Chains A and B, each alone.
Chain A
Amino acid sequence: MAHRLLRDAEADGWERSDFPIICESCLGDNPYVRMTKADYDKECKICTRPFTVFRWRPGRDARYKKSEICQTCSKLKNVCQVCLLDLEYGLPVQVRDTALSIDSNDAIPKSDVNREYFAEEHDRKTRAGIDYESSFGKARPNDTILKLQRTTPYYKRNRAHVCSFYVRGQCTRGPECPYRHEMPVEGELSQQNIKDRYYGVNDPVAMKLLSKAGEMPSLEPPDDESIRTLYVGGLDARITEQDLRDNFYAHGEIESVKMVLQRACAFVTYTTREGAEKAAEELANKLVIKGLRMKLLWGRPQAPKLDSEGSDEAKQQAAVTHSGLLPRAVISQQQNQPLQAPPPGSQTQPPPVPYFNIPPLPQHERAYYPSMDPQRMGALIPSQDGPSGSNENRGGSEQQHQQAQQYGYPSMAPPPGQFYPPYYQQYGYRGPPPPVLPPNQQHHQQYQGPQGRMPAGPPPPATGTSQQP
């Protein structure tokens, strides 16, 4: 008897669902969210068919949100059921469609019975499991999308609505009024229509975004031709050096990648200026790694530090002024030279020509061969130095990690005299030429232990110093 149902599972074809299709912003920041489910509670704002309404509070300072359109409509356009923005990018339908050149508007009827019939047919096909053509999964994000997309959830849209009584000066509820007591922001963007937004037609927000995308400034290459380093800001602990390499290798040969976790930034140095320019041009506003948007700027040459054990405040001050000044480096380096971060030793104005205030070190001659520089990638002399060259690179960058003394970018080997001093400063305090010995030692050690890369970094210099002749 139990298998015979009196009603054949809702033959009316109304929509039932278990969980709403919503974006992260609409779901809220609270992992413990209580949601009510009401079957056939309201009609969809687009197709006017009854559907399951979910209602929840997305966070403590949020109003209650409920699903506005049915799941059929939201799947057709791949949008959130509440905010009607794209599920992947958080962009209005019109923006996404113009950027990806999708045009399904002709296929979806917009009026009356046609619309309901289309929705029902679509729903039936989905439930029957028939594969219908959905282009949303296959589309690759293009430039515009990458520039415009939201990478973090935006909770401001979950705030309570503006108290209309307050606007008229008549709110008698006082402090317990749950609506916002602010003046509403008027403007062209306030006249939005849910159907326009859904179909991607005549949407003021979309048009504003599209015009903004067209005008986004591109990264100007700096005047100083020797700068081949890009500053990458907005890093996170999850982003590894390998991620950066993966993103940047396509534009040119990477000489080095230095990550400065304390300032959430990294410096990527190319071997050629053209590579750096190409990378800047391609990635300027579009760099998104692991869901985090990165800020890309040109790097600036660092003033060398006289004191490798500078105080923390001085380091932070140096870093802060650098972060503050880095954008301006784009414009004119000469003007900014006096404003460069002073070395911690001298807190006042740094010398106007910072590169020459350090007397050349005795190691200078010795380390003149590029292959001896652990930072140098690739071989000029083949065979033995080739693999050791790349090993050195890894070891070198890790050594710099450990030391984290400087916030400039690692030295670029070739232009002697300019960037060498800061690099060798670090080793200067550890004694004479550890740069020479560790590569060989790492070479051997890494042959012994395949995973000994990271730990092999610091020990060799330490043992290097002790083993010096």
Chain B
Amino acid sequence: MPKVKTNRVKIPEGWELIEPTLRELQAKMREAENDPHDGKRKCEALWPIFKIAHQKSRYIYDLYHRRKEISKELYEFCLDQGYADRNLIAKWKKPGYERLCCLRCMQPRDHNFQTTCVCRVPKHLREEKVIECVHCGCNGCASGD
């Protein structure tokens, strides 16, 4: 058999510092995936998934863009390995989307009348104050509140 080139991951420095947190978050995600669906609505069962995905991405985004504690190499490594969502972080860099909950909520193509999800509306402009958006269970991710 010809020699098959495999890609071996080269872990950059600084990985040991962030690894424990990332492992914890992964475990949390595993738990959420295996949770039974009893007593929950169909959409409600998916909310923890979105929440934890947001949390993971948030952690890495904070480390690199806000606190600047990891190197670019490590940051790219995390994104490539799937510890954070690149597209979601891209949105967080834009003004007005700093607290975006998930990518579905701001996609007009996914909604009737080409609007966004209600969680994107600031609380002072909404009529109902307490909401849980149907996609990700978000309470309100407008940048103002």
Contacts and interface: CB of A to CB of B under 8 A. Distances in A.
B130 A176 contact: yes
Nearest to A173: B132
A374 to B, nearest CB: 56
Contact of B132 (A36, A60, A176): A176
Contact of B131 (A34, A36, A60, A176): A176
Nearest to B132: A176
A176 B131 CA distance: 5
A175 B127 contact: no
Contacts, number: 13
Contacts of B128: 176
Interface string A164-192: 00000000111110000000000000000
Contacts of A173: 132
Contacts of B113: 34, 36
Contacts of A174: 130
Contact of A36 (B39, B112, B127, B130): B112
B130 A175 contact: yes
Interface residues of A, number: 8
A36 B113 CA distance: 8
A68 to B, nearest CB: 20
Nearest to B39: A172
A257 B131 CA distance: 56
Interface residues of B, number: 8
Nearest to A60: B127
A403 B26 CA distance: 83
Nearest to A175: B130
Contacts of B127: 60
Interface in A244-295: none
Contacts of A60: 127
Interface string A87-117: 0000000000000000000000000000000
A172 B132 CA distance: 12
A174 B130 CA distance: 9
A60 B126 CA distance: 11
A175 B127 CA distance: 13
Contacts of B39: 172
A173 to B, nearest CB: 8
Interface string A142-179: 00000000000000000000000000000011111000
Interface string B120-145: 00000001101110000000000000
A60 B127 CA distance: 9
Nearest to B139: A176
A44 B21 CA distance: 56
A45 B131 CA distance: 33
Nearest to A35: B113
Interface in B19-68: 39
Nearest to A61: B127
A54 to B, nearest CB: 13
A172 to B, nearest CB: 8
A34 B114 CA distance: 12
A90 to B, nearest CB: 28
Contacts of A175: 130
A375 to B, nearest CB: 54
Contacts of A34: 112-113
Nearest to B115: A34
Contacts of A36: 112-113
A204 B32 CA distance: 50
Nearest to A174: B130
A175 B130 CA distance: 7
Contacts of B112: 34, 36
A172 B40 CA distance: 9
B110 to A, nearest CB: 14
A34 B130 CA distance: 23
Interface string A20-53: 0000000000000010100000000000000000
A60 B128 CA distance: 10
Nearest to B131: A176
Contacts of B130: 174-176
A34 B115 CA distance: 12
A32 to B, nearest CB: 12
A47 B127 CA distance: 39
A175 B39 CA distance: 18
Contacts of B131: 176
Interface string B89-131: 0000000000000000000000011000000000000011011
Given A34-B113, A36-B112, 9 more contacts: A34-B112, A36-B113, A60-B127, A173-B132, A174-B130, A175-B130, A176-B128, A176-B130, A176-B131
Interface of B: 39, 112-113, 127-128, 130-132
13 contacts: A34-B112, A34-B113, A36-B112, A36-B113, A60-B127, A172-B39, A173-B132, A174-B130, A175-B130, A176-B128, A176-B130, A176-B131, A176-B132
Query: What 10 A-B pairs come out closest when comparing CB atoms?
Result: A175-B130, A176-B130, A34-B113, A176-B132, A176-B131, A36-B112, A60-B127, A176-B128, A36-B113, A174-B130
